[in-house]
Structure 1
């Protein structure tokens, strides 16, 4: 009888032990997908979806060539800033840009070498109470220091075996990234994720790597269908646009893959990549210099005048 009672006692405590163990695991891990859902709802409800960070009716496109009347934050290295900078600019690091922005008394303009790193600063600002923040298109390369852009334009994709005119890949659906956080308020989750994005230094990739092994990446072209067909694209590429939280395209991205976004100049793809980092797609990368490094001589630039201004012409800047 004693043996039988002991047996029932053991059976009774096993579920309790299991539940206690699970609770401890959850406490250690923090909030996972509920945090993503909270962040998603907050961004959509507060007009901070991806398409609205890129461009809104009220605040305009994220990039501009206008300098006058701006609070200029230059995030280049101090040695280059000291050598030459725009009048009135203040020097900052990307990681410290939100602190620097506290001194702004007018619309913020972020400046870097080519406009691509500045895009990350603009995402941080637009998601942190500075919805009018913009970057200087082409960066200091368009202000008399063209060497970085001149050295990185070309036609690397022309004739390459991994450049094609095939139809885009039919996308699958994937779960959202897991966000590990102890925060429950959406503003605090967003603050944590913006900081994580600013600390992510492995956000870019060169066209040679992607051309050589496109199968190592989930590649997304952020063009219109006209330009997708006109330029051609990486073998196996997707065309997910507008890629919004309010729609379903964001869930066509695999959080476990290295997602590479490419555009015309690398500035829009940098914006998208930074935004994806905020959402938890931490392996996402932006293709540096975009189509300008892949197919700069292509007639699509001149045949489609709507995009002509996104082509870098050596000697014209």
Structure 2
């Protein structure tokens, strides 16, 4: 009888041990390397840190402006595979000659099929910049976004930008301040579960997950009225942080690189909505894409400073209606 009892115990224990040994998440035993660390090492060693996404190793920025004149358009569009991620209705109403209308969820598939560097196109440039960052992280490092989107290509499509800059919500708002930035804190790394122990695979899976989720945004109205609901990071230089003013309580954590650990100033907690804002919402879209891939719950503030306070006297560049205005380049239908 004892032998039978021992045999029964063994039969129950073996499956339990087998299932336990298959867990490859961050809690896989005392000596297991956290998934974030594996991914971090891969990102640094393969020139995929945030600075290399903003400007690739060939010195190409993530965004490119439209051509100067209609005569320049043929040579301009010949350089790219143009992917337009606007709605089918908006695309039919007017698009760049040769562009292909696709859904955001298909950007990685279309990137693999592209014969030339990809130019991502959207309404305002913001979603295209988010897509561009994800494409660059996935290996399509020469992908660029059309600055200002179709709003900058033709004035007939600029209604979104033109309407948004009139709000001037930050002007005179109680939560808009010129006080010094709060002292940056130091947080632990994000934690997430994965069955992989390979940094490249983890990173690839995180990019795919971010694409499937889509562009995560926060409105200037909500952030300005409810700053305590967010962990806010202002992606300005120190001079502009003071001269423009900023949302009360905004940190200034730059450049968010893994290599120098500046990213550790961000709170990875699941209840900490990390919202980044810049001048146009385009750089913050890139930053937000990178942060979501790294495991943060990250959001880009739409339209950036232009949406909050377009008439601010501190502008030197990237001001919609100031140094930046829509062109009247040709549209295909």
TM-score normalised to structure 2 length: 0.83
The question of 1:279 aligning with 2:306 is answered no
The question of 1:312 aligning with 2:294 is answered no
8 Å contact from structure 1 (residues 59, 132) kept in 2: no
CA shift at 1:61, angstroms? Answer: 1.0
After the TM superposition, which of the residue ranges 229-238 and 123-132 deviates more from structure 2? 123-132
* Distance in 1, Cα, partners of 2:130 & 2:103: 12
Residues 233-252 of structure 1 aligned to structure 2 (within 5 Å): 233-252=246-265
Residues 112-191 of structure 1 aligned to structure 2 (within 5 Å): 112-144=122-154, 145-154=157-166, 155-191=168-204
Aligned to 2:25: 30
How many residues align? The count is 293
CA shift at 1:49, angstroms? Answer: 0.4
8 Å contact from structure 2 (residues 274, 299) kept in 1: yes
> What are the superposed Cα offsets for residues 256-303 of structure 1, whole Å, 9 maximum, x if unpaired?
20011000000000111111010011x2110000000111101111xx
Aligned to 2:109: 99
Aligned to 1:85: 95
Q: 1:288 aligns with which of 288, 302, 314?
A: 302
* Distance in 2, Cα, partners of 1:247 & 1:182: 28
Residues 60-79 of structure 1 aligned to structure 2 (within 5 Å): 60-66=60-66, 67-68=76-77, 69-79=79-89
CA shift at 1:195, angstroms? Answer: 1.0
* Distance in 2, Cα, partners of 1:21 & 1:280: 30
Aligned to 1:6: none
Aligned to 1:232: 245
8 Å contact from structure 1 (residues 59, 131) kept in 2: no
SS in 2 for 1:243: coil
SS in 1 for 2:105: coil
* Distance in 1, Cα, partners of 2:20 & 2:163: 51
After the TM superposition, which of the residue ranges 183-192 and 237-246 deviates more from structure 2? 183-192
* Distance in 1, Cα, partners of 2:55 & 2:19: 44
CA shift at 1:179, angstroms? Answer: 2.1
CA shift at 1:29, angstroms? Answer: 6.8
8 Å contact from structure 1 (residues 193, 278) kept in 2: yes
8 Å contact from structure 2 (residues 104, 214) kept in 1: no
CA shift at 1:252, angstroms? Answer: 1.1
> What are the superposed Cα offsets for residues 165-214 of structure 1, whole Å, 9 maximum, x if unpaired?
11111122111111211122222111110011112246101111011111
CA shift at 1:24, angstroms? Answer: 5.2
SS in 1 for 2:104: coil
* Distance in 1, Cα, partners of 2:219 & 2:212: 20
CA shift at 1:316, angstroms? Answer: 3.6
* Distance in 2, Cα, partners of 1:241 & 1:298: 23
* Distance in 1, Cα, partners of 2:240 & 2:58: 27
The question of 1:269 aligning with 2:281 is answered no
* Cα RMSD (Å): 2.2
CA shift at 1:311, angstroms? Answer: 0.8
Aligned to 2:329: none
Segments of 5+ residues of structure 1 without an aligned counterpart are 1-12
> What are the superposed Cα offsets for residues 190-249 of structure 1, whole Å, 9 maximum, x if unpaired?
111001111224610111101111111110000011111110111111001111001122
Q: Which consecutive aligned stretches of 4+ in structure 1 deviate over 6 angstroms post-superposition? A: 20-23
